[in-house]
């Protein structure tokens, strides 16, 4: 468990350093990443993909539009919908992140053979599946508290 927590911390710190250099929060970066990988979508689809409220998406998009990374435009066939996509600047940022993601993967797994990678992926998938099913562990600050 200690190794998993350390891994989570190391990955989180690395991600945060990268986001700090770009002046982005994790939720805003997730919007850019999602639009970069999935393409233009409606605000409703984006809200569902991010598993957050439409109001949260609006706030994220306001900030990202202000920084020139995303653009909103009316849906051509549905007056009630708004399409969201990346600007040229947003596409460049997304492509740079994808390249960095690939480089990190190559660095982390360069000396693993295919059997080791396959085994690692199977174990990781099982652990993640279990974590999704397990309720959060509640710990007391006091070992004697109920």
Kindly give the residue spans of alpha helices, DSSP state H, lying in the chain.
2-22, 26-38, 43-50, 54-66, 88-109, 114-133
* pTM of the entire predicted model: 0.76
The residues spanned by each domain of the chain are 2-133
Output the pLDDT for position 58.
94
* Cβ-based neighbours of 65, under 8 Å, separated by 6 or more: 71, 72
- Give me the CATH code for the 2-133 domain, please: 1.10.10.10
Neighbours of 61 (CB within 10 A): 20
Dig out the tokens for 51 from the structure.
Answer: 């598993």
Output the pLDDT for position 6.
93
Output the pLDDT for position 103.
92
Instruction: Choose the weakest-confidence range: 32-41, 100-109, 129-138.
Output: 129-138
- For 52-91, how does the pLDDT look when each residue is reduced to its tens digit (9 = 90+)? 998 999 999 999 999 999 999 999 998 888 999 999 999 9
**Does residue 70 contact residue 64 with C-beta atoms inside 8 Å?**
yes
Alpha-carbon gap, residue 14 to 102, rounded angstroms: 14
Output the pLDDT for position 110.
94
């Amino acid at each position: 468990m200690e190794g998993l927590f350390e891994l989570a911390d190391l990955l989180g710190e690395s991600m945060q350093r990268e986001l700090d250099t770009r002046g982005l929060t994790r939720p805003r970066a997730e919007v850019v990443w999602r639009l970069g990988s999935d393409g233009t979508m409606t605000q409703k689809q984006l809200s569902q993909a991010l598993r957050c409220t439409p109001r949260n998406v609006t706030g994220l998009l306001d900030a990202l539009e202000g920084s020139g990374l995303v653009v909103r435009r009316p849906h051509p066939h549905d007056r009630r919908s708004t399409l969201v996509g990346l600007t040229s600047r947003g596409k460049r940022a997304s492509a740079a992140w994808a390249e960095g993601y690939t480089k990190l993967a190559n660095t982390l797994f360069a000396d693993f053979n295919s059997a080791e990678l396959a085994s690692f992926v199977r174990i990781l998938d099982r652990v993640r599946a279990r974590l999704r099913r397990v309720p959060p562990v509640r710990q007391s600050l006091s070992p004697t508290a109920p």
